[in-house]
Amino acid sequence: MNNHCLNINHLLLSLLFVVTSCNAQVKTDLTNENTNQQTPIKGDQPKIVQTQGVTSGNITCELQDRDGNLWFSTSGEGVYRFDGKAFTNFTTKDGLCDNYTTTIIQDKSGHILIGTNAGICKYDGKIFSKYFESDSLAKFDITSLLEDRVGNIWFSAMNKGIYRYDGTNLSNFLYKYEHPFLADKHEKMISDIIQDIKGNIWFSSFNRGGVWRYDGKTLLTFSHLPIITYSLKMKK
């Protein structure tokens, strides 16, 4: 399962879904014309267009599930699934928690978990449902999702920090630790969560808040990452 999420502030691509047929091949031909205008690409499938400064309809995350389907979360248009032949759009009309979707993963049970501006939504292949029944959690703006190797679900919510759910207990993970060298606003603004091949959990933050690495016991902070410049030289 491949998952790749993008910072919404740097999105240049969005989907313009004009479904006129269901051919299996999607044609792409991005241009670099005026970035304030949407330039549909030739082809008779849902189209990829180049945008900048447009906040609605941008792709925020993509996922390839275990069946090979491609999923796209969007800022305001729900989620799209491409099965190799046709796109299917899921919105609040289909039970999705919110049409503003930010991140998407598939858990070990095969469920599709979608981060939205109304909490986490679960899709079991047939219906959408709230991942947590709590009304307070349904108000969270989810910014990132991860299932770690042992099945814990990690998620971050705008201005709420990091949470970890082990299937029974939900804990606010970040505030078990003290960070006197970082302002609170940086701690609360988590942009992404990943796990590396060694099992470490990494957290990135907005607003120059740095990067954290959690090895299961201790939390290390990298608040000033070095800037390394590379150059290419031709051999004479």
Q: 110 in the Ramachandran plot: left (φ > 0), alpha (ψ -120 to 50) or beta?
A: left
Geometric angle at alpha carbon 211, from 207 and 215, rounded to 5°: 155
Geometric angle at alpha carbon 54, from 49 and 60, rounded to 5°: 75
Mean pLDDT, residues 124-141: 88
Domains of the chain, by residue range, sit at 1-140, 141-236
Residue 101 pLDDT class (50, 70, 90 cuts): very high
Give the pLDDT confidence of 16-56 residue by residue, as tens digits.
443 322 233 333 333 344 444 433 333 445 555 555 555 66
Domain 141-236 has CATH 3.40.50.360: no
In Å, how far are 50, 204, 213 from 159, measured between CA atoms? Answer: 30, 14, 20
Residue 197 in tokens = 């091949």
Give the pLDDT confidence of 138-196 residue by residue, as tens digits.
888 999 999 999 999 999 988 788 899 999 988 887 654 445 334 455 556 788 899 99
The whole-model pTM stands at: 0.73
First vs last C-alpha separation in the chain: 44
